[in-house]
Amino acid sequence: MKKSANPRILTINGGSSSIKFAQFEAGDVLDRILEGEIDRIGAPEARLRVTGLDSMDTFSQPVTAPDHTVAVGILMDWIEARGGPDGLTAVGHRVVHGGPSYWQPQRITAELLAELHRISPLDPAHLPGEILLAEAFHRRLPDLPQVACFDTAFHHDMPRVAQQLPIPRRYEAQGVRRYGFHGLSYAFLMEEMARVAGTQAAQDRVILAHLGNGASLAAVREGKSVDTSMGFTPVAGVPMSTRSGDLDPGLMAYLASSEKMNAQQFNEMVNTKSGLLGMSETSSDMRDLLERETQDVRAAEAVALFCYQIRKWIGAFAAALGGLDTLVFAGGIGENAPLVRARICAELGFLGIELDPLRNAKNAALISPDDGRVSVRVIHTDEALMIARSVAHVLNLGPHRKHQP
């Protein structure tokens, strides 16, 4: 592919079983050229899917990707086949955790990678894979600038009372506190809300519910994070696809005694074998569970617990905010599961939350009545755009403040 006259930015979002990517051209606006993913990494059904502006960049094909190392090699081969460094100006990576020292988007350096290696125990489910991706790009394209975009940035200035953990104070000096995550998504949702509902709405009391494979909520006032459900790691808060959410800390001691479970096994259980998967014993996918719930009590109970816990967090955050003006649903479940949204909101009328059934069924942008006390919205989140915008800002690549959603 011939080198573009405008800078081109590749965004990378590595998950536990997928690598999502998108490419943007930084002209007068940030234009999305293509997006895709390698999904089901580690499974026989792994595929590379790409959707682009022309037929050459739109395809789906099976790949052999037993792990992330092989998967990133497949992605790099495809990138080089499209033009390699001549087709790219920079790469931006979503990095879930930067510990206490890193939260602002910045160039990836040897020093930064060394620190990420050091703090990997903070997030063993994400950081090792994210480091692997950055190092793989550096090996293949050593002159290509890379930028780390941290998912904790949105919550960095939460009130101290929301950051602290009630454990001995000496651990705080080691960086043990509540960080919060899904920050790239939340930053986009707040900007998009200001665009569609007005600046004042974005300054009011807002609860954001990012409900996908990972799920969390954030309480926002005057555009700033007041509290969030995830804490020291992304496993905290509400139940998720395979993560447990909050648990009684005594459970670890009990399982260590009753099953001789060690810390690594416990961490694997709460990250990869719990949540919807652990409760249902069949699937981590909400779509599967909704289909099965009338025949399978385990599926029904998994869905019920998910909705119940989110409803509790909404109530708690309304208390933290002193009331509520807007509730926003986002993420794969939040944007596409009307039944889940309805069940979450069903008993929240005392907060002024009411849904319009027809709007909710259609996944409309506004799913509450026009005269509802609380506006309930569905907003499609866009972490890739936020990464691209951060890369453009850090590297000064064009008019990055403008964008097309």
Alpha carbon of residue 21 to chain centroid: 14
Give the whole-angstrom CA distance, residue 124 versus residue 121. Answer: 5
The contacts of residue 309 (CB under 8 Å, 6+ apart) are 238, 239, 245
Tell the residue number behind the tokens 């990133």, with chain if given: 72
CB atoms within 10 A of CB 283: 18
- The closest of 193, 204, 219 to 374, measured between CA atoms, is 204
CA 154, 156, 162, 165 torsion: positive or negative? positive
Q: Residue 125, class by beta-carbon neighbours within 10 Å (0-12 exposed, 13-18 middle, 19+ buried)? A: buried
**Catalytic residue among 39, 77, 123, 151, which?**
151
* Ramachandran angles phi, psi of 108, nearest 5°: -85, 120
* 374 and 353 Cβ atoms separated by less than 8 Å: yes
Give the whole-angstrom CA distance, residue 379 versus residue 196. Answer: 10
- The closest of 332, 140, 155 to 226, measured between CA atoms, is 155
Give the whole-angstrom CA distance, residue 103 versus residue 100. Answer: 8
Please give the full DSSP string across 7-24, using - where no structure is assigned. -EEEEEEE-SS-EEEEEE
- The closest of 306, 366, 293, 299 to 333, measured between CA atoms, is 306
Buried b (16+ CB within 10 A) or exposed e, 14-38: bbbbbbbbbbbbbeeebbbbbbbbb
Q: How many residues are listed for the chain in this entry?
A: 405
Q: Is 67 a catalytic residue?
A: no
Q: Which amino acid is at 209?
A: A
| Residues forming the active site | 151
